[in-house]
Copies of this chain bind each other. A is one copy, B any other.
């Protein structure tokens, strides 16, 4: 009689590990890593601190796992975009830009999780930093590959330009310094590709 009727809030409760990661995702994204205590994650996941420490060695390990999942989601989305335009690298690049542009509203309040996490994790040794660096490296390599496949004169330079613009659009969205960010982002990428 303790919990049978207590909280049907989540239909057909997921196993604890998934609930913990879901709760961590929501809270870290909304409030940042440092402001969210392990206790708060446990409460939102409808479990306890002890359960969290059974699945993750430390809070840092949980942070790293969260970012690993976010990176995998980006990776999957990029795979999808790439598959939608086989052998049309220019459309693939525009698809990437469109994916970022579509994600801007969700970013507007709290920014990019990778950028935010880097800001909160100054020590290079933190396990989550390796996750971020690997993700960014893969993303860059993929973009350079697309630019090369598109036959652009200087794939490294064009890839850098597009990277700058994609990242910059996200921080400009967050700090509100530019209006119509999504439209302007798409126009910018198109112009870069046209003049490359």
Contact = CB atoms under 8 A, between A and B. Distances in A.
A188 interface: yes
A134 to B, nearest CB: 10
Contacts of A184: 157, 160-161, 164
Interface of A: 30-32, 34-35, 110-111, 114-120, 122, 132-133, 136-137, 139-140, 157, 160-161, 163-169, 171-172, 174-178, 180-181, 184-185, 187-188, 191, 195
Q: How many copies does the complex hold?
A: 2
Main secondary structure, interface of A, reads helix
Contact of A120 (B32, B114, B167, B195): B32
Contact of A168 (B34, B116, B120, B166): B166
10 contacts: A111-B118, A118-B175, A137-B176, A157-B187, A160-B180, A160-B181, A163-B168, A163-B177, A164-B188, A166-B168
Contacts of A195: 191, 195
Contacts of A118: 111, 174-175
A175 B114 contact: yes
A116 B112 CA distance: 11
A45 to B, nearest CB: 20
Contacts of A181: 160
Residue with the highest number of chain B CB atoms closer than 10 Å, among A32, A139, A161 = A161
Contacts of A165: 161, 164-165, 168
